[in-house]
Amino acid sequence: MRIIGNIIWLLFGGIVLALGWMLAGLILCITIIGIPFGVQCFKIGALVLWPFGREVQIGNFGVGGLLLNIIWIIFFRWELALSHFITGLLFCITIVGIPFGLQHFKLAKLGLVPFGARIN
């Protein structure tokens, strides 16, 4: 079921979303200050490419991770986390869309606080 869900995900926008996150990562990696944020964009882009069967665990990020998460929320990607959340709500309106809505909720969680999160 995971493989079928991932293939449908890729065909209906997963590739475009993943490329967007990867492009954001490349742009952020241009400066030395942006490299940690770019690495997080690559992590999110990898999850966006193949989300079914993987879990996100918000973990122990420490003081540095907390500071970077606050900077991330203020300046970078709270809009994308919110858009994933709203898209997830829209998908959950129909029974067929619920699995895809749950994947968007997972992406919203990672998009909000990526530092210290683990993808299993």
Domain ranges within the chain, ordered by starting residue: 2-119
Q: Say if residue 89's pLDDT is above 90.
A: yes
Which of 79, 71, 55 is CA-nearest to residue 115? Answer: 71
The H or E element containing residue 82 is helix 78-91
* Each residue's pLDDT tens digit, 27-82: 989 989 889 989 988 988 888 888 998 888 887 778 888 888 888 888 876 777 88
| Residue with the larger pLDDT of the pair 97 and 79 | 97
Cα-based angle 104, 108, 30 (whole degrees, multiple of 5) = 115
Which of 68, 21, 29, 82 is CA-nearest to residue 46? Answer: 21
Q: Output the average pLDDT for the chain.
A: 87
* pTM of the complete model: 0.83
